[in-house]
Each structure stands twice: as structure tokens, then as C-alpha cells.
A and B are shown apart, each in its own frame.
Chain A
Amino acid sequence: MRYEIRVDGRLSEALIEVFPELDHVTMPGQTLLFGHVVDEAHLYGLLARCQSLGLRILELRQMPE
């Protein structure tokens, strides 16, 4: 499964490192994290990581393979 998570704001390098398994693109005022998600457990884990860091999720979607 491939997913992309769009979060509000530009992530610092330290926070990017919290998602080592994902790629990222920084845009004006947003950061896009994307990559392969192993399963549902992984997906919820990613969301929990966002929450624990106080990140605001703007969009979450599954990408075509």
C-alpha cells in the first residue's frame, strides 16, 4: 500500500527523522510524507506518531501502486 500524508507546516530535519521509512517533499507551508505502508497497523502507527508530535494532518490518501 502506498500512502501520502500531507501535514501542516514545514517539518524540521529532526521531525523528518521520526519518519525514516517515508520520503518527503517540503512545500510552502506544508510537508508531504509518502511511501510504502506495510499494513493497517503501520498506518495507524504513523498517524499516532503524527499526533504525538502535534502535527496537523491536512490530507491522507492512498496512492495507486
Chain B
Amino acid sequence: MTELEGDGPPSTGPVADPQGDPFLHTRFAVPARPVTFLRRERLTRHLDEALRTPLTMVNGAAGAGKTLLVADWAQTRDGPVVAWLTTDAAGQGPGMFWAYLLRALSASGIALPEDIGFPADASRVPPTLPARLAAGLSAREQPVVVVLDEYDRVAAPEIAEQLEFVLHHAGRGLRLVLVTRTEPLLPLHRYRAAGELTEIRGAELAFAPGEAAELLELHGLRLPPAAVRALLERTRGWAAGLRLCALAARQSPDPERYLKEFEVDHSTIADYLLAEVLKRQDDETQDLLLRVSLLDRFRPELADVLTRRSDAGAILARLSRGNAFVEHLGHGQYRLHPLFREILRAHLRMQRPGLEPELHRRAAEWLRRSGSLAEALGHGAAAGDWEFTAGALVDDLAIGQFFTGPRSGAVTELFSRMGQDTTSPAAQLVRAARELSRNGEDGGRAHLHRAERRLADYDGMADGAADRAAAGLSRALLEALAARLAGSPGRAENAARAAGELREAVPDQLLDRHPELTALLLDHLGSARLWAGRFEAAREALSAVAGSEAGATTALPREDSLGRLALIDYLNGWLGRAERTARAALAETERFGLPRPSGSGVERLVLAAVAVERDELEQAQALLDASAEAHPAMRDPVLEAGRALVAARLHLARGNPRAALAAVEPEVPADAASPWAQGQAALVAAAAHLSEGRTETAAALLRRVPDDQAACAVAAARVQLAAGRPAEAVRLLDRAHPERSCGPAVTVRAALVRAQAAHQRGDAAASHRLVARALLEARRERLRRPFHEAGPWIRPLLDTASLRGLTSGWLLPGAAPPDGGPARHAHPPPVVEELSGRERDVLRRLALMMSTEEIAADLYVSVNTVKTHLKSVYRKLSVSRRNEAVRRARELGLL
């Protein structure tokens, strides 16, 4: 790992946060001190302790002077690097928090480990990120001081946990300073007891008489000691109160009398004083302050838009120099002190009732024009102007944000407040997107059908507004998604074609800003092609997504595409390749900290299928369970069919053919049929019937499958073999010739059918040779399942001396010693005949230490029947006693 070293140039990290907005650089800036700031040495000295203790907490009420104290300390102390982050209420999720913290570190020149990862989801963080950060920090010789200002805005308890983790493991490399109104959710008592906490609390922040006199003097107010004491009593030494007091008094004709009046007044201090200060400003300034109270951070230009004047620049510059309630953040941005902002907002509502929505609307339009989409949407929604808000989202080509991780939660939540009375075309597209993002909820396709109706409605109103390319492209994306979910490859192709034409008319920079749109579109197209069985065309589209540049907004479609490429490999019998691709998909989710479930989880499904083929059944079950919760917009027929198939194969492997049949029986609802889904379902059903002796039913099922599916041809050959027609079996194989296009999962089975045919003909040499070939091919992929399916005839063969070299170590647990000496015979061969359902029932009860009589009573059968089942179990497991049977069954994963 690269160490977090020294003060080099800021590393080139991602330029946007997980929500896709350019980082608000002002949040990394140490706040500037006003000219009236008073340094208080006793506090600064106490704060120096922060360099010795891992954790420092500065807490006090709003306006107690916390931030300025720490800012002044950070800027004037020589020594360690300080990374400053003003946390924000707007992105409370851990993903946003850590994304900003990483940026704050690199903005202050701390080089981060290259493999640290980056959160792609606003609400999550890659699990490895805190550990890597801590490891990197702990390698530093000089500690880095991280200041988190306004930490009280951090509500998520997991952030506190993660911080605690990093703090603990970073050791001397990190000094954390929390500036907060409320006590953080960290185990403070533990740090306190260990002497590892520096605490500066409200009482210490309160002004002492001497300090108050100095502060008032800085504001140009000289008072006798008695007046200062009285003022301190009234304000309880509260910094903001003293400042406001000084401002108000200075502007009054007789400051001392004014302060006397204030002492006897009984209003709440902040409100009273602010009103006093405000009253003394000119009308323009008052009006401006009231109006900008709606904004978090703002530029003078935006303030001008709210006041419809052009004096904001001058007024704000003046205010930020002179008093404490307007703060200049640098980069031309300002903000109001949070306390006064709240109070001003209350006054705005009071004094200008009904003006708020209009101000929100103006702010939204200006923010949209200046490229701050997320903020524009927020103000548009606050104004209740849904036509504007939906239009802004669609015109910005940001409709994909309904589906990709980073902003999907925020956007969905925002538009959930949109009423039915907004009827613009853009609103209709937004509604369709919402419906599609909820596909499969309530167990059905109702949302999909509603979305399809909305898209049709949209086409109906497509005059004028809809011919705009961005709206058309958004529509094409939704149509491709709807087609994919409906299993309608033709419609998906049409949508993709339409999108291709519309792209020409959309500015390049808009497309560049939203790579998720292209990625999603291709992923939908690829998956629809996959459903249709057009594997090569599907691979083309999916590979384009998988090979696209990695980024937070495209992590989800990239994961899904890789998962589906893995599925194609699996269906073609290439297990190793499928596994590698599926693992790459998983790595994508981990790298970007996508939530589980993030995408369709199709890669977990593929891994489960591979595990079944390797007879690692416990693992297969766990993977299958983990893939159960899929992203609604990715829950398409491919996924449904895939899940049914893997579940059925797992049932088969566990000797439960009825359950396997039940799993593949319900047809996956889709507009178009899928040849491979049907073929695979028939294949599994045939295997289930075959295992219960219904050879003809199995044969009939497979006859209905088109010839071009090699896997099915191999299965059909096996059925012919079971029906006693080995020549027919070989003929089927010769015709399908699976070796031409398929991987080991198919070809090994084909070789085994040929071997069994040879065995039935009595051609021992050919049989031996074919089994050897199958073993050789299967060993690379640890492909065990076909040998277990093959039946009892293969067992003696596998145990022959000449083949033991090919079986030991992976197929036979009792491996031959590596020097090639004689194999130990302590372990019986693992290849067992499938247990019947009843035999498994008995075996399970055996494992619970039940007696034969108890088992009989429990299963409502006679004792003799249980004994018969037991004998059969012993024979199949090659054991002679109960406890041996249970142990063997556990080894084989049958229990």
C-alpha cells in the first residue's frame, strides 16, 4: 500500500462527489476570522492539547464561538497539517461523508493510498475504505489534524462508528477535532478515562469579564466594568450575544442607555438582538438578509436574483467585514451564520407571507442555469413547481439518476411529493421512471404496466415539448428498460435505435456529464438480447458497458453487465470464465461500496450455479440466498429464469427432484419467449423425471427443445441411454457436436454419456478412455457434478488405479500422496448415488440422534420401512453404521 505521505500536491481524486455534484470547495476552507475576532490565549493553549490526544471535542451552543476558535488555532499554529471539513446536512449518508472527508484530506495535501476506493453510493461506504485510510494514516510520521465542523449535523450512527474505527487504528497519525453543538455518538467516557480526550465545553467558551471588555472594544465600544459585568450576566458570556449587543449599541445614539434597556428586557437574546441589529440596517440590507435566509451557501449573483436588485455584492462584502452573521467562504461564496439564518427565516415567513415559494422558484431557475442541478431540484420542489423540477431533471438528461445508486434515493424521495396535477410531458416521463424503479414491488408487474401506459401518454402529448432531444433520449432509455423488464427484445432494439439517432442532437457535454445514461441503455439492450438468446449481440452491448470508464454513476450498470456476461459464459458451459467475470462484477460493487442489493445480483447467481456444478452445495445455497434481493429496475426475466434454474439445480443436487420440478415449472412472464430459458427449464425437468424413473416423460420434454442447444442435446442423449438406446444417444451427440462451441460443463457430460454408452456395449477400453478425458477436462474447473449425476456404473471405474491419478485431490477427498505413491484407502469414494427424498428424511432424523422407532413415528411409516430406507442409505453412502452415515452425509454436504 502507498503510504499517506507528506505535503505533496493534492492527489487527483474524483472531481465529483457521489451525488455527481462538483465538490463544494468552500467546505474544505478554514473559515475566515472577522476583523473583530478576539483571540483568547487560555482557549488556544487548551486547544494545543489537541495535538496530544487522539480526540478533541469543542462543544457549545450556536454562536458560542466554537468554529472561530478552532479556525484561528488551525491557521496560526505551526506544525501539523490540518484538513478541514464543514459537514453538511444535505448529504448525511456515510458515502457522502467519507467522499468529502477524503477530498478534504487530499485538498490539504495528504496523499491517499491509491487502492482506497471511493464511495459510489451516497448512503454507503466501501467496507475496506476506513481500514485502508487508517492504515495509511498510521504510517505517517507527523499526525494530520482533521477538523469536522458542525459535526452535530452528522446524524447517521454508523459514521460515528466508522470514525471511531479509523481513529483507533490510525494511532498517532490522526488527531480528530470535532466541533459540535451536541455530544457526538463516540464513547467519550472511554477516551476521557484514558486521558485521550481534550474537551472544551460551553462554560469554558463563555467570555470572562476581561475578555468581554476587549471584545466590546474591538467593536468600538468602551464600557465601565460594571456595565460589562451586567451585560455578561444578561448574555451569560455568550459570544454571539455580546457581538450583537455591541453592534446594536454602537449604532444607537447612547450606547450605555441602550445596554441598560437591553438588560431589563426579557426577550430571548438572539432574536431580540438580531431584530435590533437588523432594524439599524438600511431597507435594502434588511430585505436581502431576509431573502437569502432560504439559501445554504450562495453567491451575490443569486442574492441579486432573489432581491431583483444588483447591490448584493457590495452589501455582502460590507456585512462580512463588519459583523458576525454573514460569513465569506471564499470562491465568491457567502453564507449566513446558521443561528441567524434560522431566525431570519422565521422573520421572512412573518414579514413576507407567501413570498417563500416565489423565492425558491427564482433560486431554482438560477441554480439550474448555473449548472447546480441537485440544488435546483431541491428549490424547485420546495417551491412546489413540479413542472419546472421535472423539466430540469429531464432536460439535464439526468433521468438515469432514478436507477443508478448515487442519487437514486434522493431523486425518488424528491419526486414522491409530486402530485397528480402536474401534467407536463416531462412529469409524465418522471412518473414512468418512478414506476419502473419500483418494478416487481408488491410482487407483480403492475408498476411496469403503469409505466408503459405513461410512456404511451407521453407519446400522445409529444408535440412541441417532446421533440426536444433530451426528452426523447430519456424516453428511449425508459422504453428500453420497460422492454427489458417485459422481456421484449424487439422493442428494446427499437428504443436503442431511436436513442442512437437522438444522441446526435444532444450536446456532447450533456452526454459526457451523464455517462450512466449510455451505460444503462446498453445494459438494458444487452440484457434484452440475452433473453432472446442472441448471445453474441448481447455480449457486444454488455462488453461496451463493462469496458466503459469506471465511475461512481456507472458502477451499477457495469456490475450488472459483468454479471450478465458471466451468465452467458455459464450457459455456454465455461465455468472458470464465468466465475472470473462474476468475481469482477462483485469487485465492482465492493470498490464502489454499492449496497447489497445493488444491481440484479446476477453475478451471485452465476457463482451459485458454478458452486452447484462443483458440488459445493452449502456455498451455492448461501450465494443464492444473497442474490435474492435485486434492484427493482434490474429484476427482468433473465434474472427470474436464472434464479429458478439455479434453485432447481441445487434441489436436484440435493436429491430433491420434486422441488426442482416445482422451481422450473412456473413460466417466467415475458412478451417474447426465450429459447435458452425454455431449453434449460426442460433440461432440469427432464433430469428430475429421469431421477425418478420417468424416462419417456423426460424424453418427450427434451424433444420439444430446438436442436441448436447443445446442453439439451447432451441431456437428451443421456435420456436415450437411460431408456436403453445407447446407439441413439451417440447419434444425438454426433449431430449436436457440443465440443465445437461449448465449455467443459457441457462437453464433460457429453464425454460421460459416450463413456456410459461404451460401458453398456461392453467396450471397457473406450469407456475408460472417455472417462479419463472427461476427468482431465473437469479437473481444471473442479467440475464434480457430472460424475455424481452419471450413476453407479462409473464408481468402480473411478476407483481404478489408472484413473486415481486424475481423481485424487479434487473428486476423491482421500488424495493420493503428492509423490504419486499408492492412494490411501481410508476414505471411501465420494461418488454416491442420489438419495431419494424419503431416504434424506430418514437421514436427517438420524443426524438428530432419533431412534429407528422415533423416526418411524415421526414420518408416519412402519419401523420396517425405516429399516429399508436405512439400508439403502448405508449402501449409497458406502457405510455400515449410523454414525458413519451421518458423518459421510455431512462430508458430502447432504445434511
Residues of A within 8 A of B (CB): 7-15, 17-18, 28-29, 31, 51-56
- Contacts A31-B268, A51-B62, A54-B271 aside, 8 further interface pairs with beta carbons under 8 A come to A9-B272, A11-B268, A11-B271, A12-B267, A12-B268, A12-B275, A52-B339, A54-B339
B350-A17 in contact (CB<8A): yes
Q: How distant is the Cα of A12 from the Cα of B350 in the complex, in angstroms?
A: 10
Q: Which residue of A lies closest to B63 (CB)?
A: A54
Contacts of A56 in B (CB 8 A): 61, 268
B270-A54 in contact (CB<8A): yes
Contacts of B338 in A (CB 8 A): 52
Q: How distant is the Cα of A28 from the Cα of B351 in the complex, in angstroms?
A: 25
Q: List 9 A-B contacts (CB under 8 A).
A: A11-B271, A12-B272, A14-B343, A18-B342, A52-B338, A52-B342, A53-B271, A55-B270, A56-B268
> Given A10, A28, A53, which contacts B270 in the complex, CB threshold below 8 Å?
A53
Contacts of B223 in A (CB 8 A): none
Q: Which residue of B lies closest to A27 (CB)?
A: B266
B266-A54 in contact (CB<8A): no
Give the distance to chain B from A62, nearest Cβ to Cβ, in Å.
21
The answer to whether the Cβ of B280 comes within 8 Å of any Cβ in the partner chain is no
Contacts of B578 in A (CB 8 A): none
B62-A52 in contact (CB<8A): yes
Contacts of A55 in B (CB 8 A): 268, 270
Q: Which residue of A lies closest to B62 (CB)?
A: A54
Give the distance to chain A from B205, nearest Cβ to Cβ, in Å.
14
**Interface digits, B339-364 against A, CB 8 Å rule (1 contact, 0 not)?**
10011001101110000000000000
The answer to whether the Cβ of B181 comes within 8 Å of any Cβ in the partner chain is yes
Contacts of A17 in B (CB 8 A): 346, 349-350
B346-A18 in contact (CB<8A): yes
Number of interface residues of B (CB under 8 A): 23
Q: How distant is the Cα of A11 from the Cα of B268 in the complex, in angstroms?
A: 6
Q: How distant is the Cα of A18 from the Cα of B342 in the complex, in angstroms?
A: 9
A53-B342 in contact (CB<8A): yes
Choose among B63, B182, B271, B343 the residue with the greatest number of A CB atoms under 10 Å from its CB.
Answer: B271
> Given A7, A14, A31, which contacts B350 in the complex, CB threshold below 8 Å?
A14
B339-A9 in contact (CB<8A): no
The answer to whether the Cβ of B71 comes within 8 Å of any Cβ in the partner chain is no
> Given B343, B347, B349, B351, which contacts A54 in the complex, CB threshold below 8 Å?
B343
The answer to whether the Cβ of B240 comes within 8 Å of any Cβ in the partner chain is yes
The answer to whether the Cβ of B269 comes within 8 Å of any Cβ in the partner chain is yes
Q: How distant is the Cα of A8 from the Cα of B268 in the complex, in angstroms?
A: 6
Q: Which residue of A lies closest to B267 (CB)?
A: A10
Q: How distant is the Cα of A56 from the Cα of B240 in the complex, in angstroms?
A: 14
Residues of B within 8 A of A (CB): 61-63, 181-182, 240, 266-272, 275, 338-339, 342-343, 346-347, 349-351
Q: Which residue of A lies closest to B236 (CB)?
A: A56
Q: Which residue of B lies closest to A47 (CB)?
A: B182
B343-A10 in contact (CB<8A): no
A14-B271 in contact (CB<8A): yes
A9-B267 in contact (CB<8A): yes
B346-A53 in contact (CB<8A): yes
Q: Which residue of B lies closest to A12 (CB)?
A: B271
Q: Which residue of A lies closest to B338 (CB)?
A: A52
B339-A15 in contact (CB<8A): no
Q: A14-B350, A51-B181 are in contact. Are A29 and B275 (CB under 8 A)?
A: no
Give the distance to chain B from A25, nearest Cβ to Cβ, in Å.
14
Q: Which residue of A lies closest to B340 (CB)?
A: A54
B266-A28 in contact (CB<8A): yes
Q: How distant is the Cα of A56 from the Cα of B339 in the complex, in angstroms?
A: 13
B268-A7 in contact (CB<8A): yes
Q: Which residue of B lies closest to A31 (CB)?
A: B268
Contacts of B182 in A (CB 8 A): 51
Q: How distant is the Cα of A14 from the Cα of B346 in the complex, in angstroms?
A: 5
B271-A15 in contact (CB<8A): yes
Q: Which residue of B lies closest to A9 (CB)?
A: B268
Q: Which residue of A lies closest to B347 (CB)?
A: A14
Give the distance to chain A from B66, nearest Cβ to Cβ, in Å.
13
Q: How distant is the Cα of A29 from the Cα of B268 in the complex, in angstroms?
A: 8
Contacts of A51 in B (CB 8 A): 61-62, 181-182
Contacts of A7 in B (CB 8 A): 268
Contacts of B62 in A (CB 8 A): 51-52, 54
Contacts of B343 in A (CB 8 A): 14-15, 53-54
Contacts of A14 in B (CB 8 A): 271, 343, 346-347, 349-351
A-B pairs with lowest CB-CB distance, top 8: A9-B268, A54-B270, A14-B350, A29-B266, A14-B346, A52-B342, A14-B347, A10-B267
Contacts of B270 in A (CB 8 A): 53-55
Q: A53-B270, A54-B270 are in contact. Are A15 and B181 (CB under 8 A)?
A: no
Q: How distant is the Cα of A21 from the Cα of B372 in the complex, in angstroms?
A: 34
Give the distance to chain A from B792, nearest Cβ to Cβ, in Å.
65
Q: How distant is the Cα of A17 from the Cα of B343 in the complex, in angstroms?
A: 11
> Given B63, B240, B266, B349, which contacts A10 in the complex, CB threshold below 8 Å?
B266
Contacts of A12 in B (CB 8 A): 267-268, 271-272, 275
Give the distance to chain B from A27, nearest Cβ to Cβ, in Å.
9
Q: How distant is the Cα of A65 from the Cα of B63 in the complex, in angstroms?
A: 37
B268-A13 in contact (CB<8A): no
Q: Which residue of A lies closest to B339 (CB)?
A: A54
Contacts of A52 in B (CB 8 A): 62, 338-339, 342
Contacts of A8 in B (CB 8 A): 268
Give the distance to chain B from A26, nearest Cβ to Cβ, in Å.
9
Contacts of B266 in A (CB 8 A): 9-10, 28-29
Give the distance to chain B from A52, nearest Cβ to Cβ, in Å.
5
Give the distance to chain B from A53, nearest Cβ to Cβ, in Å.
5
Q: Which residue of A lies closest to B64 (CB)?
A: A54
Q: Which residue of B lies closest to A18 (CB)?
A: B346
Contacts of A13 in B (CB 8 A): 350
Q: How distant is the Cα of A31 from the Cα of B109 in the complex, in angstroms?
A: 50
Q: Which residue of A lies closest to B266 (CB)?
A: A29
A15-B349 in contact (CB<8A): no
